[in-house]
Structure 1
Amino acid sequence: MCGIYLSLSHQKFFSPNEQLTKLLHNRGPDYISHERMKVTKNNGDQYYISFTSAVLGLRGDQITHQPFKDKTHSSIFCWNGEAWKIGADLVVDNDGKIIFDLLMKASSIQNTSEASIEVLKILGSISGPFAFIFYDHIHKQLYFGRDRLGRRSLLYKENKEHNLLELCSISDPSSRPWIEVETDGILQLSLTEDIPLAKCHLSDSSQSSKLLTGLKIHHWKTNKDLTDFVKRESNLGEFNMNIPTKCHPLNPDAKSVESLHRLLYKSLQLRILRIPPPSRSKSSSRVRIAILFSGGLDCTVIARLANDILPYDQEIDLLNVAFENPRVVQAAKIDTLSKNDNLLTVPEDWPYESCPDRITGRKSLIELQKVCPDRNWRFVAINIPYSETVAHRKILIDLIHPHNTEMDLSIACALYFASRGCGLASVNKELTVTAYLTPARVLLSGFGADELFGGYTRHSTAFYRMGLSGLLDELKLDFSRLGKRNLGRDDRVISHWGKEVRFPFLDEELVKWVIETPVLEKCGFWSPEKSEKSILDLEPGKLLLRLLSYKLGMVQLSKEKKRAIQFGARTAKMGTGKI
């Protein structure tokens, strides 16, 4: 995980101010550095370009310094991502350095158009989350963008008064508004000559910007240079819209359950093996990963499979957050008062221990301990009083920008405090709890399972209203919107603590398999009369994942119902609806 920044101006060099530099350093606490370059356009105009990278080192044996700069040609690369594979090749060592070397080789081709094609092929072949900025000084071309699923944040801001374009992982709170770079493709800005502006998905106002005259977008789906290569190496497949004519009820031994097991296991291996120990921490280095843990189906299956992959001398932290919600507490006091006129208070820990996610978290912990008795599971109860929520509200509003709804704030609040990882910890069945701050800098999230396997209420609603065709339309819509969901927002919130979130369910190979799989091999919907429960009395939504849970010995977990994070942790309806 890194924080990256670029400024591009016709007037002078611009650097991130002190506040923005601190926010970048929060994302990348291990190293921060800057580069500057002056570029002369063919017509004599000059560009002043500034680059900043802050690094969180999680790959390789040592911290790799950024921005990457080629000593011969002065090209510069800012990388915020994790390339698990490039084409069909696994990436084991420092991915940023490997990608930069490939980009330099691609850009060394003399012809600008041919070099551009090769650069796009490299970028299109990356599997994993990323946002990047690459300046090819040989041909004076600037490339930037995000991965197709939008797992890393990249924002931009235009200042026409100073003829300034800024790109950054996080917004500058003193200068608004910033806008998210879309995930439709790779953006390319020529610094040599004026080229008609293509539809670039930056902003409508950019049509009149002199600075962005040479900007064009290479769409993942429609640009031939990207499409030909992406189809061969790392595409996300075509959604299977076929409506089955026969129903073959799923069971734990089904082929699709085995395929999901294999692919999810493989995805987790890429994401949790070879993580360096938290050398800066005073705590035990036996903790390399922590899981954002509500006790729900998605995150607990991840925990269960992580147990099969990691050596037993590594402990796993389960981060479970619960909030004091004044409305809930007040309702409880009124209810208590109606039953006992002399009792006006509720137990001190009641606001937290009564949260739905705390209850399911402890219940799933018991099942994990039973099924995986050789693992040290550390349950971290993160209790957030209302006063602390209020105290951090302004920081959260700044972090989620340009998102600005109360729902954005509710979800971000839960992720913000959970990822901080500060709470009361107990290991396995210990009765004593101790104050604890997780040293893990890699967090795992179950995001994506609901979208892929039909876990939302809207999926069952679509089925009961429109049958399988309605369900397929809804699932396809969810898949098409994955890159436009809120992962950029979540990245900005979680990375504020110098930590990186990884999404095993959003592995490209797994996603491709899921969307190409027939609908009845991943969901339990068949007919309104016959699809209420599976043969194991399981809910139809996310049935494939429920069956995998059952197969892995997590029987009670397989029956767990879906609950949104803002309701499970009780961050919903704390405020007025406006921020």
Structure 2
Amino acid sequence: MCGIHVTLSPAPQTISPDLELCICNRGPDFLGRQTRSVADPWSLTFISTVLALRGDHLTKQPLTHPTSESVLCWNGEAWRIGGRQVEGNDGEAILDLLVEASASTASSPDAILDVLRTIEGPFAFVSYDQSRQTLFFGRDRLGRRSLMFHQGSTPGALTLSSVAQSCDSSWREVEADGIYSVDCSQPQGIAGGPVRHDWLTGSCADFVSSIGRFNTSLPSTKSVLTSSSSSVGALEEQLLNSLRLRVLNVPRPPSLDISSSTRVALLFSGGLDCTVLARLVHELLDKDQSVDLINVAFENPRVVAQLEKEAGGKPVNFYEACPDRITGRRSLAELEMVCPGRAFRFVAVNVPYSETLAHRDQVISLIHPHNTEMDLSIAYALYFAARGQGITSAGNSDLNTPELQYRSPARVLLSGLGADELFGGYGRHAVAFSRLGYPGLVDELLLDVSRLSKRNLGRDDRVMAHWGKEVRFPYLDECLVRWAMETPAWEKCDFDNGEDISGVEAGKRVLRLLALDLGMGGVAKEKKRAIQFGTRTAKMESGRVKGTTLIS
């Protein structure tokens, strides 16, 4: 994870102390600057910060090539390039490939674009090809990393940044729909605007999210999805392959406690998606590595008042009454039972209302240009979860053991986001099937997968990276997403069969059956719950506020 801030302007630019702090928070290990003169009087200023998670050494940014003087600001993870897994530092490997491609094609940028098109993983980047005086920038196909775009009052000027410099309405997110380029050789700057290049070339018009073709076939006969179905085993294999990239070889976090064995943490509601990840992480990590399970609960004044009223005015432990806290402790107990020898540390993040208010302006600044009450309530939960500061106890699921103040040292966070879209976990999927059968379900699933790149992942990246953490999404690995697209709907969620056959509900049934196979019967039956309701960040002051209401 890194911070990026790049400007094209008539003179080298400086940034405000507040913005520099935000950029440094994203990459606390190193801050670097580079400048390049382009068409007179224009200059490019590159600022990058680094959170070192790849390779055996700290790789300083902006990355610069010693002979070509090309520059790369890289924020993210290239798990595969050209279908091959990347060893060592991915940013260095990408810059070498870009320079090589530039040297091989003096007249066309196609070879440079082809290098970028072969990268799989979550990323945002800004790359400057010195020989062409061309700036390339973009976000990955699913938009898992933040990159903002701003054209200010100076005609032809451009700013690209991981975080907006202000809540100015002219800041917007770079779309995840392709690679963009800017010709910096003209004296008028970028008056013509950036040029967009598709992620895919050739006959790929029917590809969804520029990743693969969606299987729209319908069943010819009634089939039953069970634990022995091939899709259940295939999903386990896909998840294990995705997790290997994301949890193995994570460097030890810098910590005052050099004995710390925690390198990975999960955003843990206790729900199906995240608990299956925790269970499979247990299969991959060395036994001596502990895993932090970060569970968030908020003091919601409106809910607290109701709980105290029901209790007749007696004190209420409203944090432990939060839906996600209840589910989290229950799923922890099941994990401890099926994963003997693994140290799962339950981190109870309790957020007083006063602390929520104290961080409100910071969170609003980070989520910009998103500006609704729903954006804010979701962002609160992710923001405080990523900080990882809470209480834990020696017994974890035993509330009677002494509590200890704790802050997770893990700089890699795992999120279960994406499972609902891929495997039919939302209520609207059941509604679509009840109205139109499999044709309706297929259409709804296709719509959700096609909108993955439009999800608010840039917003989520900004609020979590603020704490020097990198969130990784195992369900959104390109190979797993491609497999899920190609798998028929009835092999993921067979809504024409009831619970009596498989023992679990139809929504995300393939994942629920995997949970059963992994020994977690209780987790397999957990219901879907939105994060803002599970943590109680929704409607903190008034029950009448709508999620679409603009933040005041």
TM-score, length of structure 2 as denominator length: 0.95
Distance between the aligned counterparts of 2:105 and 2:222, measured in 1? 58
**AA partner of residue 372 (structure 1):** C
Classify the secondary structure of the residue corresponding to 2:499. Answer: coil
Aligned residue for 2:227? 252
**CA-to-aligned-CA distance 1:497-525 (integer Å, 9 cap, x gap):** 00000000001111000011011001121
**AA partner of residue 85 (structure 2):** L
Classify the secondary structure of the residue corresponding to 1:351. Answer: coil
Classify the secondary structure of the residue corresponding to 1:489. Answer: helix
Which of 398, 411, 415 matches 1:441? 411
Is residue 68 of structure 2 the alignment partner of residue 73 of structure 1? yes
Aligned residue for 2:432? 462
Pick which of 314-323 and 535-544 moved more.
Answer: 535-544
Distance between the aligned counterparts of 2:118 and 2:105, measured in 1? 22
**AA partner of residue 512 (structure 1):** R
Quickly say closer, same or farther: Cα 1:88–1:211, change in 2 above 3 A: closer
Aligned residue for 2:89? 94
User: Within 5 A, what are the aligned runs for 1:111-510?
Assistant: 111-113=106-108, 116-161=109-154, 163-173=156-166, 175-192=168-185, 211-213=190-192, 215-221=194-200, 223-224=201-202, 236-282=211-257, 284-337=259-312, 344-347=313-316, 350-429=317-396, 431-510=401-480
Distance between the aligned counterparts of 1:169 and 1:176, measured in 2? 16
Is residue 79 of structure 2 the alignment partner of residue 84 of structure 1? yes
8 Å CA contact 2:157–2:189 kept in 1: the answer is: no
8 Å CA contact 2:105–2:111 kept in 1: the answer is: no
Quickly say closer, same or farther: Cα 1:174–1:92, change in 2 above 3 A: same
**AA partner of residue 345 (structure 1):** K
Distance between the aligned counterparts of 2:290 and 2:395, measured in 1? 10
Quickly say closer, same or farther: Cα 1:77–1:240, change in 2 above 3 A: same
Classify the secondary structure of the residue corresponding to 2:532. Answer: helix
Aligned residue for 1:53? 48
Which of 540, 547, 553 matches 2:513? 547
Classify the secondary structure of the residue corresponding to 2:363. Answer: helix
Is residue 531 of structure 2 the alignment partner of residue 565 of structure 1? yes
Distance between the aligned counterparts of 2:238 and 2:189, measured in 1? 48
Query: 1:162 Cα shift?
Result: 5.6
Distance between the aligned counterparts of 2:450 and 2:256, measured in 1? 40
8 Å CA contact 1:249–1:534 kept in 2: the answer is: no
8 Å CA contact 1:283–1:439 kept in 2: the answer is: no
Query: 1:284 Cα shift?
Result: 3.6
Quickly say closer, same or farther: Cα 1:413–1:126, change in 2 above 3 A: same
**AA partner of residue 250 (structure 1):** L
Aligned residue for 1:199? none
8 Å CA contact 2:183–2:190 kept in 1: the answer is: no
Classify the secondary structure of the residue corresponding to 1:352. Answer: coil
Distance between the aligned counterparts of 2:311 and 2:254, measured in 1? 49
8 Å CA contact 2:270–2:329 kept in 1: the answer is: yes
8 Å CA contact 1:377–1:428 kept in 2: the answer is: no
Query: 1:235 Cα shift?
Result: 5.9
Query: 1:281 Cα shift?
Result: 4.1
**CA-to-aligned-CA distance 1:51-98 (integer Å, 9 cap, x gap):** 000000001111100001112121110000101111121112110001
**CA-to-aligned-CA distance 1:436-455 (integer Å, 9 cap, x gap):** 00000000000000000000
**Identity level (%):** 52
RMSD over aligned Cα atoms:
1.9
Distance between the aligned counterparts of 1:264 and 1:382, measured in 2? 27
Is residue 14 of structure 2 the alignment partner of residue 35 of structure 1? no
8 Å CA contact 1:379–1:427 kept in 2: the answer is: no
Aligned residue for 1:197? none
Classify the secondary structure of the residue corresponding to 2:67. Answer: coil
**AA partner of residue 311 (structure 1):** D
Pick which of 383-392 and 157-166 moved more.
Answer: 157-166
Aligned length: 541
**CA-to-aligned-CA distance 1:271-312 (integer Å, 9 cap, x gap):** 000000012443643000000000000000000000000001
Distance between the aligned counterparts of 1:108 and 1:449, measured in 2? 42
Distance between the aligned counterparts of 1:405 and 1:388, measured in 2? 20
Aligned residue for 1:556? 522
Classify the secondary structure of the residue corresponding to 1:301. Answer: helix
Query: 1:147 Cα shift?
Result: 0.2
**AA partner of residue 60 (structure 2):** H
Distance between the aligned counterparts of 2:180 and 2:153, measured in 1? 20
8 Å CA contact 2:141–2:177 kept in 1: the answer is: yes
Distance between the aligned counterparts of 1:465 and 1:377, measured in 2? 43
**AA partner of residue 199 (structure 2):** W
**AA partner of residue 96 (structure 1):** G
Query: 1:214 Cα shift?
Result: 5.7
Classify the secondary structure of the residue corresponding to 2:319. Answer: helix
Classify the secondary structure of the residue corresponding to 1:353. Answer: coil
8 Å CA contact 1:83–1:126 kept in 2: the answer is: yes
8 Å CA contact 2:216–2:442 kept in 1: the answer is: yes
> Unpaired segments of 5 or more residues in structure 2?
none
Aligned residue for 1:5? 5
Distance between the aligned counterparts of 1:282 and 1:167, measured in 2? 37
Pick which of 457-466 and 212-221 moved more.
Answer: 212-221
Query: 1:256 Cα shift?
Result: 0.6
Query: 1:261 Cα shift?
Result: 0.5
Aligned residue for 1:198? none
Distance between the aligned counterparts of 1:500 and 1:215, measured in 2? 29
Distance between the aligned counterparts of 1:54 and 1:472, measured in 2? 43
TM-score, length of structure 1 as denominator length: 0.90
Distance between the aligned counterparts of 1:280 and 1:359, measured in 2? 31
Query: 1:176 Cα shift?
Result: 4.8
**AA partner of residue 124 (structure 1):** R
Query: 1:212 Cα shift?
Result: 3.8
**AA partner of residue 300 (structure 2):** N
Distance between the aligned counterparts of 2:383 and 2:226, measured in 1? 38
**AA partner of residue 133 (structure 1):** V
Classify the secondary structure of the residue corresponding to 1:305. Answer: helix
Quickly say closer, same or farther: Cα 1:163–1:212, change in 2 above 3 A: closer
Distance between the aligned counterparts of 2:190 and 2:475, measured in 1? 39
Classify the secondary structure of the residue corresponding to 2:447. Answer: helix
